[in-house]
Amino acid sequence: MTQWQIYGLVYGGAALMVWNIICFLRYVRFLKNQKSWRRRGGLLYVPVILLMLFLTGYLLVGIIGKPDVIVASILFGGSIFVFIMYQMLNRITQQIMEGERLEAELSAKEESSRMKTRFLATMSHEMKTPLNVILGLDTLALKNPELQPETREQLGKIDLSARHLLSMIQNMLEMNELENGHAKLKNEEFSLREALDQVNAITTTLCAAKGLHYEILLPKAKDYMLYGDVTQLKQALLSILSNAVKYTESPGTVRFSVEVYPRNDKRRNCLFTISDTGIGIDPEFLPRVFDSFTQEESGSTTRYGGSGLSLAVTKKMVELMDGMIRVQSQKNVGTVFTLSIPMQCLRETSLTQPEEAAPISLEGKRVLIVEDLPENAEIVADLLELEGVETELAENGKVAVDMMERSEEGYYDAILMDLRMPVMDGLEATRRIRALNREDARTVPIIALTANAFDNDVKASLSAGMNAHLAKPTDAELLYDTLKEYIRPRAERTPTEEAEHA
């Protein structure tokens, strides 16, 4: 190698070192702009000073020294090494910064989601409170046998409108839970026939009120004990069935058929088909029928109303259960929805004629209503009074605990507990009642009656020691049935129920 080539390596290395110093100065400025380095900015100049000393050495060797091939190669290689290290350090820093940015964005989205959930929970509670009053008073008024037909019709329309508003609120809450991934399946053993009977009882009432013919086709002489989320299943079926009723005019037909096919020894495929002779869906809108907040642009939007959430929520529910939902429709002919949901089958049983059970009466039972809003408490008390139930009121959880402590053993047959109250909330009140040193404190049925209807609220209620969770607005029949279930005489309870109440 000639002397010119040797000096070329030395001065080339020096030039590259100048570039390295410039790059490190830019890197120092970049880091000093970060909050974590503002107080330690001086430390960042140490590598720059060292590189400047190296540069001085390069220049001294080139000017006054007599470098050979080995020295020149080492000097040039050193500059190459520093350049590579800078590129690696810069790349690592950029990746760390990008990771921190993405983490900050994710954290911000999670916080936004939490705030949205809290806002929806608060707003739903505030909106359900007046709805509870409206529906409660409407229910009481409709039970008056002396009502004029015109007044009864007007009250019926109030009830339908209020329940429509309630369903929209519930759909928004459910969609929020599903989109945030908070919705969880609550798997339990259940009878398919019992679940379908409950769905059909509601749908039969809806069809009768609108003058529609309701056809039901169920598996004959056989019941299936399944393991899954029966609440989600019933809700999905009722959502499609209520839509079928809504968009079908008298004297139309709504048909509901159920078929169960074996998949393997432990799994069954449940096929639910719901068809109607209603207005149908336009072919152009059909691909978007399950999208959120979408409605077919036609006169039906104004005529039938709706938020465009019901089918979107149903589809997400079905997919959460590993199922599929399909739709076929022809305008002005009708619509067919098919839900295919796999379920674990515990056993199959033959249907037998049920024995006539003695009617359960609430006459003479005493219930403590724990509610901070007088109008809500008055409505519940009036509804219970229609069944002959005696009621007492506690305006918050602390008063309820005190009343329970002062009462005689077995004085209260049940407690209806609101969750959100001043002084002491329903969860803490339940825990304190359960902790009282008396036998009935452990066995008295405590039932949540609240506008808080999220899954977390239900879990919190049950974890605190409550037996059941009912959502406001109060459904009178559901309230009666729940009370009858939990305040039955001990002799009528099964050993499993006794263990749960203990």
* Mean pLDDT to the nearest integer, 408-432: 93
pLDDT band at 481 (very low <50, low <70, confident <90, very high): confident
Does residue 243 sit within a domain?
A: yes
Highest mean pLDDT among 78-87, 363-372, 375-384: 363-372
Does residue 414 sit within a domain?
A: yes
Q: Looking at the structure, do residues 72 and 141 belong to the same domain, yes or no?
A: no
- Could you tell me if 448 and 467 are in contact, meaning their C-beta atoms sit under 8 angstroms apart? no
For residue 341, what pLDDT is reported? 93
pLDDT at 497 over 60: no
Does residue 361 sit within a domain?
A: no
Does residue 117 sit within a domain?
A: no
Q: Looking at the structure, do residues 88 and 134 belong to the same domain, yes or no?
A: no
Give the pLDDT confidence of 346-361 residue by residue, as tens digits. Answer: 888 876 655 555 567 8
Average pLDDT, the chain: 81
Does residue 119 sit within a domain?
A: no
pLDDT at 114 over 80: no
Domain final residue pick, 350, 376, 399: 350
Q: Looking at the structure, do residues 307 and 380 belong to the same domain, yes or no?
A: no
Between 27 and 327, the higher pLDDT residue: 327
pTM: 0.52
Q: Residue 26 has which token pair?
A: 């830019």
- How many percent of the chain have pLDDT more than 90? 23
Q: Looking at the structure, do residues 68 and 136 belong to the same domain, yes or no?
A: no
Q: How many CB atoms lie within 10 A of CB 213?
A: 14
For residue 357, what pLDDT is reported? 52
Domain count, the chain: 4
Does residue 392 sit within a domain?
A: yes
* Mean pLDDT to the nearest integer, 432-458: 85
pLDDT band at 74 (very low <50, low <70, confident <90, very high): confident
pLDDT at 112 over 90: no
- Of 118-132, 216-230, 396-410, 467-481, which gets the smallest average pLDDT? 118-132
Between 352 and 448, the higher pLDDT residue: 448
For residue 296, what pLDDT is reported? 58
Domain final residue pick, 320, 350, 380: 350
- Of 61-75, 114-128, 134-148, 372-386, which gets the smallest average pLDDT? 114-128
For residue 272, what pLDDT is reported? 95
For residue 323, what pLDDT is reported? 92
pLDDT at 502 over 60: no
For residue 498, what pLDDT is reported? 39
Q: Which domain holds residue 461?
A: 366-501
* Mean pLDDT to the nearest integer, 356-368: 79
pLDDT at 302 over 60: no
pLDDT band at 324 (very low <50, low <70, confident <90, very high): very high
Q: Looking at the structure, do residues 208 and 338 belong to the same domain, yes or no?
A: yes
Dihedral sign (CA 236, 240, 241, 243): positive
Q: Looking at the structure, do residues 338 and 474 belong to the same domain, yes or no?
A: no
Give the pLDDT confidence of 150-207 residue by residue, as tens digits. Answer: 888 888 778 777 776 776 677 666 666 666 665 667 788 899 998 898 888 878 877 8
Collapsed DSSP state (helix, strand, coil) of residue 213:
strand
Q: Who's near 369: CB < 8 A, 6+ residues apart?
A: 377, 380, 381, 391, 392, 393, 394, 416
User: Helix (H) and strand (E) counts for the chain?
Assistant: 15, 12
Q: Looking at the structure, do residues 440 and 320 belong to the same domain, yes or no?
A: no
* Mean pLDDT to the nearest integer, 16-37: 78
- Could you tell me if 317 and 272 are in contact, meaning their C-beta atoms sit under 8 angstroms apart? no
* Mean pLDDT to the nearest integer, 333-357: 81
Q: Looking at the structure, do residues 286 and 202 belong to the same domain, yes or no?
A: yes
Which has the closest alpha carbon to 365: 190, 482, 455, 262?
A: 482
Q: How many CB atoms lie within 10 A of CB 41?
A: 14
